[in-house]
Amino acid sequence: MDRSFLADEHVISASRKFVCVRLATYEDAEENKILANIFSRQGVLENTVFAILSPDGKESLVTAGRSPAWAFGGVSGPGINEQPEIAIQRMAATMEAIALTFPGNGKSTPKDAPLPRIADMRLALNVSAADRQPLVAVYSPDDDQRKTMEQVLARLAWSDQFIGAAQYVVVRDPAEFKQVKDFQAKPGFIVIQPDTFGLKGQVIRQITATTKAVELPQALAQALGQHEPSQLTYNEHRRAGSQAGARWTSKTPNQEQASGRGGRRRPRR
């Protein structure tokens, strides 16, 4: 969603002062209700939603819409001649101003944060492919071992070395790996290369659950370094997906497609 906005270093810096939540549209009925209350047109939940909310989640602090461009501009359209860079700067500055208004209580830090995990392997493969990132799965059938592994990985995930470097999922049932080639059902940290369309995966490396905490960063960095992101453009990706017959079926109905809206762009002011 508007990678040019969310990949900007100033926006990233400002985001450290926020609780950032990524909801996957059409994947959870309860989350769909939340998203529709934030933004929808004629009651139709659209494929993407962007908003900055007050701490209680009840007030939109910027114009909610399909992307950051709805709030901050920078999209070509009638009467719009503004450079995207200006809109990106506006987003960063607005976020910094909002952060001053809601400074927080200072009791929590990224080191205390839980692992930023995706709901399940199916969705994790798709999100990782879309973001062109590797996927790290914490796998163990044992609840206590899995919880300990998750806590260890969380500290790395929020560290300067690894923050933003991968997507994460926690798995108890080995059956979730049915679309992941070369997976061995042994507890560990499973680094995965998603396929181009996010429907399958290939194990890059399995790091054993017994790996010492001091050795895990190097092992993880080496495995992540072997990831090869797709180089296809958006249009190339769509053509390739159509030719391959690749289809993503969401867990709840895609309201946008059902309405015939198909993601038309909002008329710009």
Domains belonging to the chain, first-starting first, are 3-101 (no CATH), 111-224 (3.40.30.10)
pLDDT confidence of residue 7:
85
Q: Is the pTM of this model over 0.75?
A: yes
pLDDT confidence of residue 113:
87
Q: Is the pLDDT confidence value at 29 over 90?
A: yes
Q: For 231-246, write each residue's pLDDT tens digit.
A: 888 788 888 888 888 8
pLDDT confidence of residue 78:
44
Judge whether 64 and 39 are in contact, CB under 8 Å: yes
In this prediction, residue 108 has a pLDDT band, given cuts at 50, 70 and 90, of: low
In this prediction, residue 263 has a pLDDT band, given cuts at 50, 70 and 90, of: very low
CA angle, 254 as apex, 252 and 260 as ends, to 5°?
Answer: 155
Q: For 210-235, write each residue's pLDDT tens digit.
A: 999 999 999 999 999 999 998 888 78
CA 157 from centroid of its chain's CA atoms: 14
pLDDT confidence of residue 110:
63
Residue tagged 């934030």 (tokens): 38
Output the DSSP codes for 191-225.
Answer: EEEE-TTSS-EEEEEEEETT--TTTHHHHHHHHHT
Instruction: Compute the distance between CA of residue 129 and CA of residue 228 in angstroms, rounded to an integer.
Output: 10
Residue range 152-170: average pLDDT? 95
